[in-house]
Each structure stands twice: as C-alpha cells, then as structure tokens.
Structure 1
Amino acid sequence: MRRSDSGFARVTRVLAVVAVLAVLGGCTVAGKPVAVQTDPAKLDVGPYRAEPATAPSNDNEAYGRVLESVRMGEAVIDPIEADASLTFGLGATASVPIPTPAKAGFLAQPVRAVLERHGMLAGFSVGGMDRELSADVAVGRARLLTVMLLRFPDDESARRAAADIDAVDFAVSTENVAVPVPDHAGAHAHWRPAVPTLAATLAHGPFVVSVLAGHTAPDLAALTALARAAFTAQIARLRDFEPTPRDRFAALPFDRDEMLARVLPEAPGVWPYPAVIVDRNDQNAGWRTHFKVSGVVYGPRAAHRWGSWEKDADADGTLLAINGAHYLVRHPNVAVARRAFDETASDATDPGHRAAPAPFGLPDSRCVESLSGPRYGLRFACRVLYRAYEGIVYGRTVKDAQQKAAAQYVLLVRSE
C-alpha cells in the first residue's frame, strides 16, 4: 500500500457505521522505533476482559469453507497485475471470501444457482478501479475490474460451470452479444454494446475465473484486453496455490497466525467464528453488493487489497484480523508499524470528523468522533499501537471506545 495514504489507517472507510476514520495527534519518535512502555494495570479497561483466548478446534465444514476461501485470497491476482491504473479498491467489496454460491453477490441471481448445481466449494473475489468512487456510481465513470476465483470438485465440474455461468448470464438480456477473449480460446464472454461492461469466465483445472470488467465508455477492445490480461495473470498465479482437500476443510485451524486471539472480542469469552454476511445482494451482476466479514485473518495479498484507498503494487507482508467491528493489523516489523501509525496523523483534516480524547495514560493511541454517523451508532473510533500491531476499535460513547482501546492494548501486551 502507499504509506502516504496509509491504507490500514483508513480501515473504517468501508464500514457503514462510520463513513471515514480520521485519526489525530500522537507523537513521532525520532531514530530507531521502540515500543512505548505503559503499565497495563494503570489503564481503564472498563468491563472488557483483556485475557488472551485459546482457539477452539474446528470440526465444522461450513467454517472450513470460509477459511479455505480466505486461503484462496492469496491465490487471486491483484487487479493492478491486469491494469496498472487500478490502484483503488472497490470499497467494501475490494477483497472478500465467497464460501458459498449465495455469497457470490457480484454474479446475477440465476448464475448463483449454477454454482450450487455444479458443487462450488469455496471462492474469493478482489476488485479494483482507477479512481476512488463509490461502487454504486462507478460504472461508466471509472475503469473497473472484479476477479472472482471459484473452486469446484474437479476439472470437469469447473469446465461445465464456466460454460453455464456465461450461458445463464447471457440469457438475462436479449441485448447480450458473445465476444472472444484474445489468447484464451476456452473463455466465454459477452457484453451489451451500449453498456460499458463485459463479463467473462474461464475454467482452469478445478477453478473458474469469473471476470467483470468496466470502462468509461462501451469500448470492446479495452474491455476484452482487460479480461485477457486478468485471465493470463490469474492462471499464472494459480501455479503457486495448493488447495486444501475437501475432506480436510473441517480441520483447518481458526487462528493459524495467532491473530484472532489477540483481537478484542466483541463479547467476553466469545470466540469469533468465521462468517461472511451479505447485507445487500443485487438481482443482477454488478458492483453494488455489500459484505461483512468476521472471524478471519487475511493473508498479505488479501489484506493488501482490502479497503477503498489507493494502493501500490506490492503487498508488504501485513496481516489483517477482523472480528466484527474490531480490527487488528500486524505489520512486518516495528519500524513499519510506527511509520504507518505516525502517517495517520494527517487524516485529521478529513471532513465530518473531530478529535476525541485518547485513553488516559496510553501515548500511542488516537480517537476520533464521526459527526455524520447515527447519534447512537458506533460514532467513536480509537486506534492503538503496540510493537508491530495496530488495533482499531469502536464505541457508542467516547469512554466506551477509550476503554476498548485500552483493553486491546492490554490484550496485546499479555499475548506476548
């Protein structure tokens, strides 16, 4: 990500409860970054427990499908690999696990039935565009690309699914016209000549690559070139991915990276089981679907693509744990974490926000109040830094947010 835009500093831009996370204050430490030593016993954590949790054993295939889908996030290309201008994420849909056909909200509703019929097992979707816009209004105003990687039981199931996905989506409108994708004779693609979008699918082994491309004008050459580049890059990326056998889904660990145990739980003693919730699902294919993901840890590639802010081409090894409205970022090292934390101070000028007091006695923390959110919503957000970790928490009152931030800090200290 571009540190000048500090991607994870703006983690809350994709939340419905807070339009933008702006953070204030904080001090810059000259020279070699070191962790600020704060006595956890002196912090006000209120009613929140700050004890490390132990991950339960997984014996549930439904949870395993979410976990395998998150693993597939490391096998999906970055849209920048298909078009270097696609540096902005597609908001809340920029990096999303797709564990079941019902969650494949980018596809038209009849197409989701195709995925079910052919036994889809797991999936992941990434999206990018060339400017920062709401996905609701981006069609025709930006260059867009969504790449959805879907896994099926075997090569033949994937081949049939790819053909049926295209056929069923094609039948949605009588205006659709079939088009070829250069260099990919096995691909299926179509578009409506008056609409600046193109849908394409390609089977590769047990996987189906589904591409939805958008442009600022109905330019077929540009759209097919983007689909071609996406397919080429995605096939190359799959060479490095080893899928989990289906009968091992239920054995996938909940917290392989020991991140979720460090995230402040939403309720004391409650483990954050993996879940993907679709809170808006369109009937037609497009970019308007909204997702909420919880109880998962994104690997470096999926974490890099998460959020609507501008990114560069290189994932830096950052991990992202999501537990409801609580987030924990693990940077590659203390120096990177300090730099990212300090750079967020410039976000103080974002409109619609104002500074809120940070937790008393916790130097590496900042809080902000959203002036545009619901009066009794999660209007307050606090960020806290501990070594290579950044935690982000929310509260309905400033005191609640402060106590959560303090509890998150204590939890990180006690997890060492």
Structure 2
Amino acid sequence: MADQRTPVIARAALGAVAVLLAGCSAMTGTATPGEIDVRTLDVGRYTTTPADIENGREPTDGAILEGLRMGAAIVFPHDVDAGLTHNWGTDVLDTPRRTADASAISNVNLPVLERHRMITGFDIAEGSRAFDAKTPAIETDARVTRVVLLRFPGAAAAEAAARDLEATDFAVSPDNQPVPIPGYPAAHAHWRPGVKTIGATFAHGEIVVSLFLQHPNPDIDALARRAAAILDAQVPLLETFTPTAPDRIADLPRDPDGLLRRALIPGPANQQIAISSREFAAWPGRASLHYRPTEPAELAAAWDRGEVDSVANSYTTTLFRFRDDSAATDFGDTWQRTLSEAAHPVSAPDRVPGAHCAERRGATGSPALTRCYVSYRRYGAFVSGPEPAGVRQQAAAQYALLANAS
C-alpha cells in the first residue's frame, strides 16, 4: 500500500476563492405587489437576465454531469463515523488522469483506469481533524476516510477494474498483505503491517467503490470493520442509483432543475460557459448536501430546517433552494447572527430586502473577504469578493436576477 498518500483538497465550498465578476447589466421585469422594482437597484455591470445554460455545451460536459449525479449517491463518511468532523475534499473526477492524481487510488493505476475505460468518478474525504497540507496525515493520529466512486461501461468492466486496481496497488510494496472485509467476500483489500492505513475496492454493478482509511494506530481489525461499515452504508445508496447509459451521457442536462440559470454569472447572459464541478455547476437533490455547513451548529440546523433540495455554484455565487420563503430568510438571519470572531457585519446593498453582509479578515498577506446573503422567495444566495462595493452590487444583481427568473 502507498501509505504516504494524502488527499488533495478539491473542495466545492461556500467560501470559494473570490474573483471579481464583471459583465453587462440587463434589467427586465416589473415589480409585483409588495415587491421592489428591481430595475432601480444598483447592480453595476452585473447581468440580471437568466442565462441560457445549454449555450456553450462542451464534449467534456457529460462526464462532469454524470459525476455530479454520482455525488448524490456517495456515502458521507461522517454519517458512518461522527468523529469525522472535517471535510478534506470533494469533487468530480472526470478523467482517469485526474482520478489517478487526486483520489485514494495510487497513481500507478492510471493504465488500469484507462484499460477498463473509466467514464467518471466522484471523490469525498473527511478527517477527524482539520486538513493540514504541511503535515502528512500518516504522521498524525487522525482518522481519515476517503471514498471514491468510479463508473465503468458495464458490470464486467467494473468487476475486472476492482480486481486489477487492487492487484496493481498491492504490488507497490512486497510487505503488503491481503485483508478480508467482514461481510464482503468479493471485496479486495490490503494493508502493510505496522502501517495504520487500509485500501479496498468493491464492485457493485457498473461502479467500483474505492476506499482509503487511516486509523489512529495500526489496528487491522478496526480498519477492516470501518471499511465494512462504509460499504454497509454505501451499497444501499448505489442500489437506488441508475447510471446513465454511456451513449446518453453527452445529452445530460446541464441545469436539471433550473437553478443554475438563476445564479449570478460573470458576464452577459448569452455567453458560453463550460460546466465545471467547482466553478459552474448544479448540485441537485442529495448532492446538495456537499454544501451543507457543519458549523456553527445553529447554521447547520437552519439548513436542515430549510430542507435545501438543490444548490447551484457559479464562481463566487452559491445559490440554494429552500422549502419555502421563510426558510430562505431564516438561513440568512442565522448566518448573520452566528458570524465567527474573524468576521463582522458591514453595510448591505441599499433597498434589497433582508440582505446581510459581513467582512472576514484575511490570512496574513491576504485581503479581507466580503460576503453578502440575499433571499428572494424560496431562494437564498451568497456572493463574495474582496471589494465591498462590488459585492454589494453582486448581491443586488443576484436579487434582481431571482426576481426576473420567477
């Protein structure tokens, strides 16, 4: 086993890196009774017209879109082990190369992935402590669980891939030994005695589940039990997931439930934008849970009460769809009320109902980040950036866009 592997952060998160969004404004619509006339808001040069999301479709979109669908079918490690309180990374792995470079799978397995015609994948890693790029996880007592779902063109290909992935990884060290996983005789797993990690693969239909787990100490029985517990939770999710036929993947909708068209974009509404899992994509249904805040607890509770059922991420905009209007408002109020010690409230955009803004001080040498939350009916959105005035314009534009898209 390649025991020095450390997850690479590839996180789609509320605090995405801030960039300035500039485009052309196009104010449309009129106010309904009880609502402001959004044409009077200061939106700067940001667009307020819903985008045609299908414009600019690329051949590479299909693998990303199918990977996002798989993101709704992957187990969240903290649901199995409550001690895994920190997200170490989550993302679509849409090519064999990205999978070999970023996932729990050793990079010696790139030829295996290519030979068995891997289609796409989804990756999640969580740990019992915060991720520290300066200190390899193996040098700490952290518990780590990483789960990767890999899609292949058929059950036979997946079964062969699971076997070959294990065999290739096993051969990395002459000290590796096979490990049986309780309840899963078809699983392939190994560890290196004295090392506190385990790797395992298990084929279920057209999907291979690849696991990498670290324990505080080299306890192989504990590691094997943890692997079995993950599979116990993962397999039922896969049984409810229907993979898209390979010849239909290219036709998957980019905006399956119409949320991405409502998210503020960096330019005119008719521009062509490539789908990118971390920058411009929809995360509908259970996939939206990848954006659920874990702290503070009050904000997580507001998310749960609000029954978020879809998320769209557009560069520095993250848009949520809640159960109803009051839930969208409650989430923003809770966010403002539970700001961390590193943040403080700042002025919200003029005349945008219920808007909240805050500034969070940056790390040493980094600029402060301004973030605003706006809600319109059952939708709520965060926008962010380093320039407070520009972020307020983004917030006003996002509010107007939601009104125009209704």
**TM-score by structure 2 length?**
0.82
The equivalent residue for 1:63 is 61
The equivalent residue for 2:235 is 235
Aligned match of 1:300 in 285, 309, 317? 285
SS at match of 1:296: strand
Aligned match of 1:400 in 369, 390, 404? 390
SS at match of 2:109: helix
In structure 1, what is the Cα distance between the partners aligned to 2:56 and 2:39? Answer: 34
Deviations 1:188-247 (A, max 9, x none): 112233332211101112110001112222221221111111122222221111111111
In structure 1, what is the Cα distance between the partners aligned to 2:218 and 2:71? Answer: 30
- State yes or no: 1:119 paired with 2:117: yes
The equivalent residue for 1:350 is 341
One-letter identity of the residue aligned with 1:172: V
SS at match of 1:369: strand
Deviations 1:285-331 (A, max 9, x none): xxxxxxxx122111232221336735689794431111122211111
Cα 1:380/1:209, change in 2 over 3 Å: same
SS at match of 2:150: strand
The equivalent residue for 1:274 is 275
One-letter identity of the residue aligned with 1:275: S
Aligned match of 2:326 in 323, 327, 335? 335
In structure 2, what is the Cα distance between the partners aligned to 1:314 and 1:198? Answer: 33
The equivalent residue for 1:216 is 216
1:128 CA displacement? 3.0
Q: Which runs of 5+ in 1 are unaligned?
A: 1-9, 19-34, 277-292
One-letter identity of the residue aligned with 1:75: A
**TM-score by structure 1 length?**
0.80
Please tell me whether the aligned partners of residues 86 and 130 of structure 2 are also in contact (alpha carbons under 8 angstroms): no
1:132 CA displacement? 5.0
Cα 1:226/1:203, change in 2 over 3 Å: same
- State yes or no: 1:12 paired with 2:14: yes
Cα 1:222/1:299, change in 2 over 3 Å: farther
Please tell me whether the aligned partners of residues 264 and 407 of structure 1 are also in contact (alpha carbons under 8 angstroms): yes
In structure 2, what is the Cα distance between the partners aligned to 1:59 and 1:273? Answer: 7
One-letter identity of the residue aligned with 1:295: F
Map residues 3-402 of structure 1 onto 2, 5 A cutoff.
11-13=13-15, 15-16=16-17, 37-56=35-54, 60-86=58-84, 88-91=85-88, 93=89, 95-104=90-99, 105-106=102-103, 107-129=105-127, 131-134=128-131, 136=133, 139=138, 140-269=140-269, 270-276=271-277, 293-306=278-291, 309=294, 316-351=307-342, 353-373=343-363, 379-402=369-392
Flag the structure with more relative contact order, 1 or 2, with Cα contacts below 8 A and sequence separation at least 6. Answer: 1
Tell me the C-alpha RMSD between the 2 structures. Answer: 2.8
In structure 1, what is the Cα distance between the partners aligned to 2:395 and 2:173? Answer: 51
The equivalent residue for 2:403 is 413
Cα 1:83/1:349, change in 2 over 3 Å: closer
In structure 2, what is the Cα distance between the partners aligned to 1:153 and 1:199? Answer: 23
Please tell me whether the aligned partners of residues 272 and 294 of structure 1 are also in contact (alpha carbons under 8 angstroms): no
Number of aligned pairs? 369
In structure 1, what is the Cα distance between the partners aligned to 2:124 and 2:211? Answer: 10
Percent identity between the two aligned chains: 33
In structure 2, what is the Cα distance between the partners aligned to 1:274 and 1:383? Answer: 24
Deviations 1:344-366 (A, max 9, x none): 12333432x33332111123222
In structure 2, what is the Cα distance between the partners aligned to 1:294 and 1:379? Answer: 18
1:58 CA displacement? 7.6
In structure 2, what is the Cα distance between the partners aligned to 1:194 and 1:256? Answer: 48
In structure 2, what is the Cα distance between the partners aligned to 1:43 and 1:71? Answer: 37
In structure 2, what is the Cα distance between the partners aligned to 1:252 and 1:237? Answer: 21
Please tell me whether the aligned partners of residues 328 and 391 of structure 1 are also in contact (alpha carbons under 8 angstroms): yes
Cα 1:202/1:296, change in 2 over 3 Å: same
Cα 1:243/1:126, change in 2 over 3 Å: same
Deviates more, 1:309-318 or 1:179-188: 309-318
Please tell me whether the aligned partners of residues 349 and 392 of structure 2 are also in contact (alpha carbons under 8 angstroms): yes
One-letter identity of the residue aligned with 1:274: I
SS at match of 1:112: helix
SS at match of 1:275: coil
1:400 CA displacement? 0.6
